[in-house]
């Protein structure tokens, strides 16, 4: 076990969550409950690692001047040390999350990356790795040239210090645009890959998630495939070593459930848990995440101060 902090490098965005009961009425109005909450896969992972997992978590991200202070306060309220670069030319990234309030609570994202994908090597300092035991990269970094270059610099610096690196592919849709071969080239040297079911299958061309996770683990030492209500698979050396069951939950909003899993999983690894036990912690956090709105863990101090309403709003 390495003692130290978790450094997350990734996206910080403003989520506009619209909950509706389908189907959407195209060309006219659909009644919905709309909330503005802080989000971003990288930021969410850091918050779950700190608040649910008890880890010392830091976050490097890029935001616009329009919402920098708001996001810093939100991260600090979850126990995360924000290291935010303020972009004076681009606004903070915004994601519109359309959440069906039916049984699946499935969501659809409309994404304006804004300042998020403008992270660049100049935003990096090797000093960010001081006292860091694990580095986690959000897969969204791989979807623009500047942030790809930043990810490469961070990965190289971590490898030089012997700091293990994890990565979450982030988006099957963006993976298609980037290309599987290009993605696999970019993640060479990563120690832990945390794909969703769809991402694992896309990256291998295999329809079965267990076979896909096993195949990916021939390239990357540890692969943990997240399957939502079906739990998680832990694969190493070309073999699925464990099938971890999900924790039953009635979903209200599945936004950020995968981020919750990743944050709790990484925090558990920091404390010395086995990958299998860490995956069980991840499943518990994912179940908590789907019971509430938005992608962050509850923070009474923040919700009260900003007037969001209760965590179960």
pLDDT of residue 303: 41
pLDDT in the model for residue 101: 80
Is pLDDT at 201 greater than 90 in this prediction? yes
Residue 107 lies in a domain: no
Residue 126: domain span: 5-12+42-88+114-298
- 121: domain CATH number is 3.40.1190.20
Average pLDDT over residues 242-258: 88
**pLDDT of 162-183, one tens digit each?**
999 999 998 888 899 999 999 9
What lies within 8 Å, CB to CB, of 304 at 6+ separation is none
Q: Which of 99, 132, 51, 103 is nearest to 297 (CA)?
A: 51
* pLDDT given for residue 174 in this prediction: 85
Domain total of the chain: 1
Burial of 276 (0-12, 13-18, 19+ CB in 10 A): middle
pLDDT bin (cut points 50, 70, 90) of residue 212 is: very high
Residue 312 domain flag: no
| Three-state DSSP class for residue 186 | helix
Is 27 inside a domain boundary?
no
Sort 131 into a burial class: Cβ within 10 Å, 0-12 / 13-18 / 19+: exposed
Residue 180 lies in a domain: yes
Decide if 58 is inside a domain: yes
pLDDT score for 103: 62
The residue that leads in pLDDT, 246 or 24, is: 246
Q: Which pLDDT score is estimated for 309? A: 33
Q: Note whether residue 34 is domain-resident.
A: no
Helix/strand/coil percentages in the chain, nearest 5:
40, 25, 35
Q: What is the pLDDT of residues 267-302, one digit of tens each?
A: 999 999 999 999 999 999 999 998 887 788 986 543
Calculate mean pLDDT across residues 1-11: 86
- Which residues are CB-neighbours of 27 under 8 A, at least 6 positions away? none
Residue with token string 């978790």: 6
- Asked if residue 268 belongs to a domain, the reply is yes
Position 29 in a domain = no
Q: What is the pLDDT of residues 102-114, one digit of tens each?
A: 766 667 889 899 9
């Amino acid at each position: 076990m390495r003692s130290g902090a978790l450094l997350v490098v990734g996206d910080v965005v403003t989520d506009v969550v619209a909950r509706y009961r389908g189907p959407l009425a195209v060309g006219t109005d659909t009644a919905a409950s709309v909330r503005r909450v802080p989000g971003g896969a990288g930021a969410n992972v850091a918050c779950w690692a700190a608040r649910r997992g008890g880890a010392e978590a830091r976050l490097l991200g890029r935001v616009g001047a329009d919402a920098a202070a708001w996001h810093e306060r939100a991260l600090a309220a979850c126990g995360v040390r924000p290291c935010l670069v303020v972009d004076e030319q681009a606004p903070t990234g915004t994601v519109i999350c359309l959440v069906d309030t039916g049984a699946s609570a499935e969501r659809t994202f409309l994404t304006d990356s804004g300042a998020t994908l403008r992270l660049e090597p100049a935003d990096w300092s090797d000093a960010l790795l001081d006292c860091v035991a694990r580095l986690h990269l959000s897969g969204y970094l791989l979807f623009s040239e500047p942030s790809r270059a930043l990810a490469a610099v961070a990965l190289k610096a971590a490898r030089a210090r012997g700091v293990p690196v994890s990565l979450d592919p982030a988006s099957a849709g963006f993976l298609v645009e980037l290309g599987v071969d290009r993605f696999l080239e970019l993640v060479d040297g990563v120690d832990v890959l945390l794909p969703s079911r769809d991402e694992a299958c896309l990256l291998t061309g295999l329809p079965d998630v267990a076979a896909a996770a096993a195949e990916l683990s021939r390239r990357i030492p540890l692969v943990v495939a997240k399957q939502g209500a079906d739990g998680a698979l832990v694969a190493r050396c070309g073999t699925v070593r464990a099938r971890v069951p999900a924790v039953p939950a009635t979903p209200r909003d599945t936004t950020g459930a995968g981020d919750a899993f990743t944050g709790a999983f990484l925090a558990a690894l920091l404390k010395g848990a086995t990958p299998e036990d860490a995956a069980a912690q991840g499943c518990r956090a994912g179940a908590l995440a789907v019971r509430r709105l938005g992608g962050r863990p509850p923070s009474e101090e923040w919700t009260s101060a900003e007037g969001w309403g209760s965590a179960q709003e």
